[in-house]
Amino acid sequence: MESQLDPQAARAALDAVDQSRSDMADRLVAPWWYHPLLGVLVGGLVTVATADIPFQALLGVIAVYAAGLAALIAAYRRKARVWVGFWDGGPKTRRSAGLLFALLLVILVAGATVSMGAEITWTAPVTGLVVAVTMTLWGRRLDAIARAEAHGAS
């Protein structure tokens, strides 16, 4: 099938696609409070999950975490009118998300190792705080990487 578009019309169509992609990338900006709240949610979950608390209390914390996470996602979708998971991004975004995940696992293992077999009560809140700060700072950087990739920057 032969195209009926002249070169100018084809160029205009490609420019419209580029503009649409750029507009979408510009919407991928989390509100200033998004990553700190996500950090508090994840750090709080880590703190409680690694602390010596009754199982029923842990279930309550998991319910609060899930509700908070759902509220954050809903707020982001309302603001940006789009939701893009970091695993759905480009290679740099996926690599950075994978590194964040690996770093969080290292932090968790380090915190658990320090507290294993010892009667140390401060490891859970310190581990949670380190996770919260890491999520906040890395999350903002991850947003910037995702935005740059969506804009087509390498």
Sites in the chain below the pLDDT cut of 70: 1-3, 5, 10, 12-28, 82-88, 117, 153-154
Euclidean distance between CA atoms 115 and 124, whole angstroms: 8
pLDDT (0 to 100) of residue 18: 63
pLDDT (0 to 100) of residue 1: 46
pLDDT tens readout for residues 84-113: 666 667 788 889 989 999 999 999 888 888
pLDDT (0 to 100) of residue 83: 65
- Distance between alpha carbon 9 and the CA centroid of its chain, in Å? 39
Residue type, 61: V
- Distance between alpha carbon 125 and the CA centroid of its chain, in Å? 21
Q: Report how far apart, in Å, the C-alpha atoms of 151 and of each of 33, 34, 96, 105 are.
A: 23, 22, 17, 31
Q: Which residue has the tokens 């859970």?
A: 124
Euclidean distance between CA atoms 128 and 56, whole angstroms: 20
pLDDT (0 to 100) of residue 136: 93
pLDDT (0 to 100) of residue 17: 64
Q: How far apart are the first and last CA of the chain?
A: 34
> Residues 97, 87: contact at Cβ < 8 Å?
yes
